[in-house]
Amino acid sequence: MPVNLKPLTIDSIFPIKGISLGSAKANIKKPNRKDLLLITIAKGSKVSGVFTQNAFCAAPVLLCQEHLKNTSGIRALIINTGFANAGTGEEGILMAKETCQAVSAILKIKSEQVLPFSTGVILESLPIDKIRNGLSDTLKNLDPTNWIDAAEAIMTTDILPKAESRKIKIQDKEVFITGISKGSGMIHPNMATMLSFIATDASINQSLLDKMLKEVTQQSFNCITVDGDTSTNDSFILIATGQAGHHEINHEGKDYEILKDAILEVAIKLAQAIVRDGEGATKFITIQVESGLNNIECKKVGFAIAHSPLVKTAFFASDPNLGRILAAIGKAGIESLDITKIQLFLGNILVSEKGSRAFSYNEAQGQEVMRHPEISMRILLNRGKAKVTIWTCDFSYDYVKINADYRT
Amino acid sequence: MPVNLKPLTIDSIFPIKGISLGSAKANIKKPNRKDLLLITIAKGSKVSGVFTQNAFCAAPVLLCQEHLKNTSGIRALIINTGFANAGTGEEGILMAKETCQAVSAILKIKSEQVLPFSTGVILESLPIDKIRNGLSDTLKNLDPTNWIDAAEAIMTTDILPKAESRKIKIQDKEVFITGISKGSGMIHPNMATMLSFIATDASINQSLLDKMLKEVTQQSFNCITVDGDTSTNDSFILIATGQAGHHEINHEGKDYEILKDAILEVAIKLAQAIVRDGEGATKFITIQVESGLNNIECKKVGFAIAHSPLVKTAFFASDPNLGRILAAIGKAGIESLDITKIQLFLGNILVSEKGSRAFSYNEAQGQEVMRHPEISMRILLNRGKAKVTIWTCDFSYDYVKINADYRT
């Protein structure tokens, strides 16, 4: 079961002026589950996106990048689960285009104004007829309050839907932010994660929206991992409909920071929700790497720990086998790392320093921290001022089970 | 159970003139199992070693590197299991030194002529008294024919002992090579693997022995992975006693090549044995990456596949979910990779080309290959002439079980 991830309640998720959502059960891969989502975006909204850096990126990712060359013209997102439309070559591009054309026909917009997204099995064809058939149903229940329903419609191996909202004030006007995400395995986003969409009714110019998207990504979706596998379909889309009524944000000042902080909060919550619902997860682990020379080396250390199957299985067992954390730090490939300077804390307990077990540490202390479902550790490199936080989960029998059974 | 790894028979493993081996049950961590091994080396032998690049390398690794500054003076190796003597700081160095002194006392050699090795739990102290007490037993059964016994004495989570021999002719003299290895988890050697020792009675000068060691390492122990975790204690030692009776090999010609090829064969067999006995392994997987620009990018692609938990769990399930292989290739970080040129073969079956499923491929073909315990795949990058082979295993429930229970 997901680690401290609560079911969503309708009153905690705010609608966003200018955004409507509708889902359908289109029988794309399995019968009787929501698997198709249409999101419509009001005219004049601005849209920004980041995508996977996997060289085998999916056909819809390529088409999104093409269509986003005209960022202010985007009017709809179409998302299917079941098949990823990745590893599908020329035919895959054609299917993604036909998906956009089908949306364009029912919404009376241009096909270039549609962004397509897919998630599911790689190397198999997208059943375009089922998507076409399902589209009219999505249109029937199109509504601004459908965010939770939308979060459910994009789930694959996810156990719970993921959504998050914030309300802030800019120039005394109420501004709303709401986002959804999905993803549970193949999670080590290298740019963005497996499908996340955040919308706000704030008004902001395109270049600042693009900048904000990149800054937020670096501190949220690019700081999580479940299994170290970067998906072919990772996409994170940020939409600003500009309908909140305040003057457009057109420089980096107080308004920009207020909006960015709130969007970052939503993005971090959504990113953490993906880890909490990581395939087979029983522990939510926060890895804080501090006093590094720069962010890059802090991330390397954090991900070396977060990707280590030996660290992850020890956490699953609630076993403070903390030597494995040191071994992971040591293999991170950090130049001229002085291991005698490193301090490792588990929770608030100093576990290791001077290249060895801390004098004050005893196993019972480690055991006490490890038995909780939420565990944090701090690694102090003591050689600089950079600091990065990485979130991950443990590695359980169920991860193997889920992924051994995935296609059956 | 190990994948196609046969129990050793005494007549398949040759003694090496100048090498004797003796083991003991020293109760280092668990009672009633061989856990201490002494290897003596005749005067005048040459010794070369490579070690882990993990920054948290163990105390014995540091001491080995120090003692190997006088390569022709080495007269004994002492190896314990149970505790790795890694993450043990100043005290660990002291314990490794005391181990060497104890050996020096019973063999009447200098303590700098001893190389110490440890494997086991990290971050816990080495019980030096138990090692001292066990040493006299190792001396009692010291014998040149004890190689299989020695292979058993260095096992930790290994299920079967690992040894391999070759007999060749150099200058019409019979030359013998025998090696042992251990290792089952924390296997992604980055220089050498968790304890492997190969000896030959060939005669070769020191600089060529060093060169040979590096060449052999690159094509054997540095081409395997079980879980991507680089150990703190990886060590690979090559010993040439020079007692076969031929003239010393002192240039790179026919004799050098004959000897290197045979040692490489032994090293590859030992490296493969580690993977076959990888923790929880049910499949032995050979990944051949061909027609790359250079060896580095071929290795990156091979290890990206070999480290992917999603690929490994699909192999465990005998599920030809081959899109996961494409996703792993795509995340390998290869510059300007043209995915439309890549061809993927599973066994002899062309699975994917032109960025898509091959027209001729059907699932039944993939299923047929996947059900075997030995599976090979070929990835043709079609952009150069480099070629690398990587060996790995699948990822099973038992890997999680073994590593969740490791210290109990």
Q: Do B329 and A56 touch (CB under 8 A)?
A: yes
The per-residue pLDDT for range A42-71, each reduced to its tens digit, is 999 999 988 888 888 899 999 999 999 987
Bridge-based pairing state of the strands B284-292 and B386-393: antiparallel
Whether the per-residue pLDDT at A327 is higher than 70: the answer is: yes
Mean pLDDT of A237-266: 93
To test the contact with chain B by mutation, choose from A403, A406, A407 the residue with the greatest count of B C-beta atoms within 10 A, namely: A403
Mean pLDDT for chain A?
Answer: 90
Residue A1 pLDDT class (50, 70, 90 cuts): confident
Neighboring chain A residues of B343 at a CB cutoff of 8 Å: none
Whether the per-residue pLDDT at A390 is higher than 60: the answer is: yes
Q: Do A230 and B330 touch (CB under 8 A)?
A: yes
% of chain A at pLDDT higher than 90: 66
Q: Do B55 and A408 touch (CB under 8 A)?
A: no
Neighboring chain A residues of B86 at a CB cutoff of 8 Å: 323, 326-327
Neighboring chain B residues of A56 at a CB cutoff of 8 Å: 326-327, 329-330, 339, 355
**How far away is chain B from the Cα of A356, in angstroms, using its nearest Cα?**
4
Least Cα distance to B322 among B275, B282, B287 occurs for B287
**How far away is chain B from the Cα of A103, in angstroms, using its nearest Cα?**
25
E strand intervals along A84-221: 114-121, 162-170, 173-181, 196-200
How far, in Å, CA of A304 to CA of A327, rounded? 9
Annotated catalytic sites of A, by residue? Answer: 193
Residue A13 pLDDT class (50, 70, 90 cuts): very high
* Nearest beta carbon to residue A123 from set B316, B357, B400: B357
B227: nearest CA partner in chain A:
A309
**Is B350 near chain A, with CB under 8 Å?**
no
A334: nearest CA partner in chain B:
B55
What pLDDT is attached to residue A218?
Answer: 87
Asked whether the beta carbons of A193 and A232 are under 8 A apart, the reply is: no
Provide the H-helix boundaries in B145-253.
147-153, 206-219
Tokens coding B24: 């003991």
What pLDDT is attached to residue A192?
Answer: 47
Place of tokens 């026919």: B254
**Going by C-beta distance under 8 Å and a sequence separation of 6 or more, which residues neighbour residue A141?**
A22, A23, A24, A149
Q: Do B404 and A310 touch (CB under 8 A)?
A: no
Chains A and B: how many Cβ contacts under 8 Å?
Answer: 224
Least Cα distance to B364 among B342, B343, B346 occurs for B346
* Nearest beta carbon to residue B122 from set A231, A323, A331: A323
Neighboring chain A residues of B185 at a CB cutoff of 8 Å: 310
**Is B317 near chain A, with CB under 8 Å?**
yes
| pLDDT tens across the length of chain B (408 residues) | 788 888 888 889 999 999 999 999 999 999 999 999 999 999 999 999 888 888 888 999 999 999 999 877 999 999 999 999 988 889 999 999 999 999 999 999 999 999 999 998 888 899 999 999 999 999 999 999 999 999 999 998 888 899 999 999 999 999 999 999 887 777 776 544 568 889 999 999 999 999 999 999 888 888 888 777 777 778 888 999 999 999 999 999 999 999 999 999 998 998 888 889 888 889 999 999 999 999 999 999 999 999 998 899 999 999 888 888 998 998 898 988 998 999 999 999 999 999 888 999 999 999 999 999 999 999 999 999 999 999 999 999 888 888 887 665
Whether the per-residue pLDDT at A402 is higher than 70: the answer is: yes
Place of tokens 């150069």: B384
What pLDDT is attached to residue B222?
Answer: 84
Neighboring chain A residues of B91 at a CB cutoff of 8 Å: 356
User: What DSSP string describes B264-314?
Assistant: HHHHHHHHHHHHHT-TT---EEEEEEEEESSHHHHHHHHHHHHH-HHHHHH
CATH 3.20.20.370 fits A284-404, yes or no: no
Q: Do A327 and B352 touch (CB under 8 A)?
A: no
What pLDDT is attached to residue B193?
Answer: 55
Q: Do B407 and A321 touch (CB under 8 A)?
A: yes
- Window 120-159 of B: residues touching A by CB (8 A cutoff) are 121-124
- Distance of alpha carbon A132 from its chain centroid, rounded? 27
**How far away is chain B from the Cα of A10, in angstroms, using its nearest Cα?**
35
According to CATH, the superfamily of the domain at A10-276 is L-amino peptidase D-ALA esterase/amidase (3.60.70.12)
Bridge-based pairing state of the strands B343-346 and B114-118: unpaired
**Going by C-beta distance under 8 Å and a sequence separation of 6 or more, which residues neighbour residue A344?**
A322, A325, A326, A329, A350, A351, A352, A353, A377, A378, A379, A380
What pLDDT is attached to residue B157?
Answer: 81
* Nearest beta carbon to residue B339 from set A55, A84, A313: A55
Place of tokens 């029988």: A27
* Nearest beta carbon to residue B321 from set A188, A316, A406: A406
Asked whether the beta carbons of B119 and B66 are under 8 A apart, the reply is: no
Residue A408 pLDDT class (50, 70, 90 cuts): low
**Is B379 near chain A, with CB under 8 Å?**
no
Neighboring chain B residues of A321 at a CB cutoff of 8 Å: 121-122, 406-407
Whether the per-residue pLDDT at A193 is higher than 60: the answer is: no
Q: Do A89 and B122 touch (CB under 8 A)?
A: no
What pLDDT is attached to residue B55?
Answer: 82
Phi, psi of A119 (to 5 degrees): -150, 140
**How far away is chain B from the Cα of A167, in angstroms, using its nearest Cα?**
37
Annotated catalytic sites of B, by residue? Answer: 193
Mean pLDDT of A194-199: 83
Neighboring chain B residues of A315 at a CB cutoff of 8 Å: none
Q: Do A87 and B227 touch (CB under 8 A)?
A: no
To test the contact with chain A by mutation, choose from B52, B122, B405 the residue with the greatest count of A C-beta atoms within 10 A, namely: B122
How far, in Å, CA of B290 to CA of B286, rounded? 13
Q: Do A123 and B56 touch (CB under 8 A)?
A: no
Q: Is the pTM of this model over 0.80?
A: yes
**How far away is chain A from the Cα of B140, in angstroms, using its nearest Cα?**
35
Q: Do B327 and A55 touch (CB under 8 A)?
A: no
Bridge-based pairing state of the strands A343-346 and A349-353: antiparallel
B319: nearest CA partner in chain A:
A404
* Nearest beta carbon to residue B87 from set A352, A406, A408: A352
Q: Do A314 and B404 touch (CB under 8 A)?
A: yes
**Is A367 near chain B, with CB under 8 Å?**
no
How far, in Å, CA of B389 to CA of B385, rounded? 14
Bridge-based pairing state of the strands B386-393 and B374-380: unpaired
Q: Do B229 and A310 touch (CB under 8 A)?
A: yes
Asked whether the beta carbons of B184 and B159 are under 8 A apart, the reply is: yes
Instruction: Give me the residue spans of the domains in chain A.
Output: 10-276, 284-404
Q: Report ipTM (2 d.p.).
A: 0.79
- Window 85-104 of A: residues touching B by CB (8 A cutoff) are 86-92
Beta bridge partner(s), residue B391: B224, B286
